């Protein structure tokens, strides 16, 4: 079976393969090109990079240039005249691409990295319930801040922070504050904690309060009931109705042993819609995936955690039936640090192992992790690809380990199977540098790690005593 990109991304199309020009000569003395250590901000002009727009119909630009003004992309091409006062960024030997969009991430879990699946006592779901119950508002803030920093350092510029451990409004407020401070383009989802029964209602007045005051986009992490329980459905439908009255985005887990029944119920009750993101869709049947596509709902796939927790293999060709609003996610600490390179690599390798080397191209997976994610979240008009007028959510990667880059060769296969988090050099969100020379521009990863250590020490002691 051939897995075509038209069917998968709904006509996104592949950019033309790069060819031609080699590396730009070194700038002469007095050229105004700053040393690599300078932090590019404000109006800036990236020169000499292999520009990978991942925008439908837009060709790659080897030895290319991008101009950013007022947080937006002002020009893409070659031999562009820099605006007056622009900082010139020497990007020779590097690849410039849109930031990754993580469609599903439990950032609050990041202090729990490495704890899961070592034995019966460390199964993922029971352990997160036990330790999550001991979280205080400051712990929700610390976990979210640590997770957001790790995302940025790995080239993720946009993310859904699914906060399914809200025990009090202050938990949500602390997480939202951490997201806003990080500079990540974020959607925060207010979700119930594991101690809530199916008939315990989410405090939708608290959600409304957060929607009105939060500096980031807020949505609802909604529970699809896993059984035909009239009381649970009455609560869930009331929550869903309030969310839709507010016009906020909704995401719901459809996963594990309960996943098939949950998805059948969503379809039978005609609850899917463009405002809803279905997460995982475990063991969804072809007709059910087509129903997702017909409804306009989005689908988030998280291959690393879906495999790790035993949800089955995440096969691209199968889930392509869900339409053109499909994105990838890192999910949570079960899968390690939020690493979109690892997610893409696994997603690609599972499919081509089954259907052949060229059945899914690396470029298609990169499109899925960028513009595909933005489409899933309704952000595609603003981000997800490099195009004039879009927000400047950019990632600059060191291409030193791709010897053919200077020949103008397409780097997409290298990005999947050669590059990694360690190659991310500079990250801009809205044209603001958040990572430079592989370090956070504001704050310290070491300091965030120390705070994460303190959080896990406190909740581990309280949650397991």
**Tens digits of per-residue pLDDT, 140-190?**
999 999 999 999 999 999 999 999 999 999 999 999 999 999 999 999 999
Does residue 156 fall inside a structural domain? yes
User: Is residue 172 in some structural domain?
Assistant: yes
On whether the CB atoms of residues 142 and 443 are closer than 8 A, the answer is no
What pLDDT is recorded for position 17? 30
H helices of 272-372, in order, are: 286-295, 303-308, 316-319, 340-355, 362-367
User: What does residue 288 show for φ and ψ, rounded to 5 degrees?
Assistant: -70, -40
pLDDT digits (tens, 9 = 90+) for 375-413: 999 999 999 999 999 999 999 999 999 999 999 999 999
Output the furthest CA–CA distance in the chain (Å, rounded): 75
Q: Which residues contact 377 (CB under 8 A, 6 or more apart)?
A: 101, 103, 158, 160, 187, 249, 277, 298, 327
Domain membership of residue 125 (yes or no) is yes
pLDDT(6) > 80:
no
> Which pLDDT score is estimated for 19?
33
Enclosing domain of residue 182: 100-377
Residue 368, pLDDT > 60, answer yes
Q: What distance in Å separates the CA atoms of residue 107 and residue 120, rounded to the nearest whole number?
A: 24
> What's the pLDDT score for residue 55?
97
Query: Which candidate, 136, 245, 110, places its Cα nearest to that of 193?
Result: 136
Judge whether 317 lies within some domain. Answer: yes
pLDDT-derived band at 462 (thresholds 50, 70, 90) equals confident
Look up residue 371 and give its DSSP letter.
Answer: I
Q: What is the mean pLDDT of the chain?
A: 91
3-state class (DSSP) for residue 419: coil
Tell me what pLDDT residue 226 has: 86
Measured CA to CA, the distance from residue 102 to residue 107 in angstroms comes to 11
* Three-class SS state of 354: helix
Read off the pLDDT of each residue in 73-93 and give the average, rounded to a whole number: 94
Within-domain flag for 72: no
Q: What was the pLDDT predicted at 44?
A: 96
pLDDT tops 70 at residue 10 = no
Q: With respect to residue 261, please indicate whether it lies within any of the assigned structural domains.
A: yes
**Beta-carbon-side half-sphere exposure of residue 243 (alpha carbons within 13 Å):** 27
Q: What are residue 309's phi and psi, to 5 degrees?
A: -95, 0
**CATH number of the domain bearing residue 299:** 3.20.20.140
**In Å, how far are 142, 149, 160, 440 from 452, measured between CA atoms?**
6, 12, 20, 17
Which residue is listed with tokens 């640590």? 146
Name beta bridge partners: 436. 439
Strand 394-398 versus strand 94-98 pairing type = antiparallel
Q: Please give the structure tokens belonging to residue 158.
A: 């946009």
The C-alpha atoms of residue 71 and residue 431 are separated, in whole angstroms, by 4
In contact, 23 and 48? CB cutoff 8 Å: yes
**Rounded distance between C-alpha atoms, residue 399 and residue 217, angstroms:** 34
Domain contains 398:
no
Structural domain total, the chain: 1
Is residue 241 in a domain? yes
- The residue behind tokens 């780097």 is 411
How large is the average pLDDT for residues 363-369? 98
Q: What confidence tier does 464 reach under pLDDT thresholds 50, 70, 90? A: low
- CA pair distance 373, 191, nearest whole angstrom: 21
Average pLDDT over residues 43-65: 97
Of the candidates 368, 353, 244, 345, which has an alpha carbon nearest to the alpha carbon of residue 299? 368
């Amino acid at each position: 079976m051939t897995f075509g990109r038209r069917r998968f991304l709904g006509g996104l199309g592949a950019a033309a393969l790069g060819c031609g020009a080699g590396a730009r000569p070194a700038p002469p003395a007095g050229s105004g090109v700053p040393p690599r250590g300078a932090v590019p901000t404000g109006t800036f002009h990236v020169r000499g990079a292999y520009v990978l727009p991942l925008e439908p119909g837009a060709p790659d630009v080897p030895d290319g240039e991008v101009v950013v003004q007022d947080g937006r992309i002002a020009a893409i091409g070659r031999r562009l005249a820099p605006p007056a006062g622009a900082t010139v960024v020497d990007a020779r030997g590097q690849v410039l691409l849109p930031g990754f969009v993580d469609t599903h991430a439990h950032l609050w879990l990041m202090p729990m990295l490495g704890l899961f699946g070592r034995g019966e006592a460390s199964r993922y779901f029971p352990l997160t319930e036990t330790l999550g119950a001991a979280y205080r508002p400051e712990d929700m803030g610390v976990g979210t801040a640590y997770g957001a920093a790790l995302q940025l350092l790995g080239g993720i510029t946009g993310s859904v922070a699914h906060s399914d451990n809200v025990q009090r409004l202050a938990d949500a407020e602390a997480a939202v504050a951490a997201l806003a401070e990080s500079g990540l383009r974020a959607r925060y989802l207010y979700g119930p904690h594991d101690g809530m029964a199916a008939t315990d209602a989410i405090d939708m007045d608290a959600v409304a309060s957060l929607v009105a005051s939060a500096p980031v986009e807020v949505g609802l992490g909604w529970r699809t009931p896993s059984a035909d329980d009239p009381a649970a459905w009455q609560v869930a439908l009331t929550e869903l109705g309030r969310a839709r009255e507010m016009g906020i985005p909704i995401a719901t887990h459809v996963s594990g042993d309960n996943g098939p029944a949950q998805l059948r119920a969503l379809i039978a009750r005609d609850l899917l819609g463009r405002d809803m993101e279905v997460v995982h869709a475990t063991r969804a049947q072809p007709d059910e995936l087509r129903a997702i596509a017909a409804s306009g709902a989005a689908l988030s796939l998280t291959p690393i955690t879906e495999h790790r927790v035993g949800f089955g293999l995440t096969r691209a060709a199968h889930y392509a039936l869900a339409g053109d609003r499909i994105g990838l996610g890192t999910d949570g600490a079960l899968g390690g640090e939020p690493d979109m390179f690892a997610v893409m690599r696994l997603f690609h390798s599972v499919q081509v192992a089954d259907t052949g080397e060229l059945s899914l191209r690396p470029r298609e997976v990169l499109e899925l992790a960028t513009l595909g994610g933005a489409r899933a979240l309704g952000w595609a008009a603003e981000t997800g690809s490099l195009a004039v007028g879009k927000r400047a959510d950019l990632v600059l990667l060191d291409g030193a380990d791709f010897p053919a880059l200077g020949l103008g060769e397409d780097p997409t296969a290298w990005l999947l199977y050669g590059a990694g988090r360690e190659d991310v050099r500079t990250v801009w969100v809205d044209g603001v540098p958040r990572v430079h020379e592989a370090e956070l521009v504001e704050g310290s990863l070491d300091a965030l790690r120390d705070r994460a250590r303190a959080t896990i020490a406190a909740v581990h002691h309280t949650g397991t005593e």
